[in-house]
Structure 1
């Protein structure tokens, strides 16, 4: 093993797909937050690929829990640290969008309501990739999955994705943010900010799935960047009801540039492209309005 690989708190050689964006995210999480963390990981791709018995890629304390209860386990770890007088170790709970948006959302909402001292990070690859590419409530409108199929009457997923960051912020937690695996400086800043705070903190990170979306793994970061540039994903953070857009493309790219590179959108025809573009424009207008209302008024 090289000296360089020894530096990483997530060891190389795990079973993630070549070019796996969520694996890249885990590496960034570990290298940014450092050794003084305890990771609680819900069942999902990143648990399966990094902890195949008898091996583990984790070089930090690690707990695997279920799809539905990882936030509750993280709350328990946080309470135990508090009882021991440990106020320096960061409890990091990690889940995919299936666990975060759907199966484990009740436990996550409870964590938020109690304002437990946990940094929750969602790797959002927009589908249940681990169990065969089923749709989740993070799957975007129009995407084909094994449970949002394409035919004469259906054209992929028929509902827009759940606005998970706004839902988290509605619990009045200290910090809720949206990031992307392609914008590493922004992601690192949000990870460090979340680590420095106390209480419940939430970051969801777009990490496209080459298996679930149908593209070559070498394009993972390019597509993640395109998602932001086409305004199908946004970089922002919410504190105290105020929203800050962290990246605002002056000239946005058309959504087709992002959609055309993925097999899950290969069935789309012009009317659906237009509908997705309209959704992107509406979401941008909504977030921009919130951002502008959150900016302090300039003194004359």
Structure 2
């Protein structure tokens, strides 16, 4: 810093020293989280008494490495903004994305999105959505260098915290997809039972918990499954929500068919995660 200050009158020398300084001040991903504006103190001491860098020192809060998070809903991430999301994550830039997945367009009354689950009744799918939910997490895992986590705060708070910390620490793109109960689900016990519904969503396999960390140490699995084998209570879980139960009451045969396919998807999804872990074990 003192050399740089002394070379201010020489553009070529100042530029060369500035480049060295820039490289030495480069932040690594782990240290960045603990840096703050107080890191500017050594720089302030060097320039003490000089008016020249006052504009720089006035922006000392910018010296700290910033944590960049992009937060959006499933309608944006799965549908209307997917192209942009995919482009950003594929770029390898160090950005973090948090998707709040309510499985439908909550801001417009609960219309269907690609995040809407198979068999669910919503706007534009009065007879139940005939296609499976888009597996956004698995799609992003295919890049191999994107940190991916499937979380559910009400079901496992520690796993959610671990995922957010790992995503923040990862020097590259990350996406954390969180299941978020919504009033449009029509939870029959009321929204006060949302936490219980989240726990059941994970226990039944409806919403698997996992973390895929490309930065995992050599010899360890980058994919961690944070949930158990799905139990057999999916039907009762679905019957507790109007988005599934309403079709069962109106079109029982169609509902049974769609829920049967959903149950197969749940089992198949867990088996795919287990197989993926085995692949990385080699």
TM-score (norm 2): 0.69
1:214 to 167, 186, 206: 186
Structure 1, unpaired ranges of 5+: 1-32, 37-83, 151-155
When residues 34 and 159 of structure 1 are mapped into structure 2, their CA distance, relative to the original with a 3 A threshold, is: farther
1:64-213 matches, within 5 Å, as: 86=63, 88-150=65-127, 156-182=128-154, 183-209=156-182, 211-213=183-185
Taking structure 1 as reference, are residues 212 and 34 closer, same or farther at Cα in structure 2, changes over 3 Å only? farther
Question: Quick one: distance in 2 between partners of 1:34 and 1:149?
Answer: 51
Aligned to 1:260: 239
Q: Label 1:207 to 1:285 Cα distance change in 2 as closer, same or farther (>3 A).
A: same
Structure 1 residues 246 and 254 mapped into 2: Cα distance closer, same or farther (>3 Å)? same
Q: Counterpart in 2 of 1:282?
A: 268
Q: Please identify the structure whose Cα radius of gyration is greater.
A: 2
| Counterpart-to-counterpart distance in 2, 1:185 and 1:201 | 18
Cα 1:35/1:181, change in 2 over 3 Å:
farther
- Which structure: greater helix fraction? 2
Q: Which consecutive segments of 4 or more residues in structure 1 shift more than 4 A? A: 33-36, 84-87
Residues 167 and 85 of structure 1: is their aligned pair in 2 closer, same or farther, counting only changes over 3 Å?
farther
Q: How well do the aligned residues superpose, as a CA RMSD in angstroms?
A: 2.3
1:132/1:34 Cα in 2 relative to 1: closer, same or farther (>3 Å)? farther
1:238 is the counterpart of 2:181:
no
Work out whether residues 109 and 123 of structure 2, in 8 Å CA contact, stay in contact via their aligned partners in 1: yes
Deviation of 1:167 (Å)? 1.2
The structural deviation recorded for 1:274 is 2.2
Alpha-carbon distance in 2 for matches of 1:285, 1:220: 27
2:140 and 2:64 map into 1 onto residues whose CA distance is: 24
1:192-241 deviation line (CA, Å, top 9, x unaligned): 111112221111011111x2111211111111111110011111122349
Distance (Å, rounded) in 1 between the aligned partners of 2:34 and 2:134: 31
Q: 1:263, CA displacement in angstroms? A: 0.3
CA distance in 2 between counterparts of 1:192 and 1:277 reads 32
CA distance in 2, matches of 1:243, 1:263: 34
Q: What is the distance in 2 between the residues matched to 1:165 and 1:86? A: 34
Aligned residue pairs: how many? 210
Runs of 5+ unmatched residues, structure 2: 1-32, 37-60, 215-220
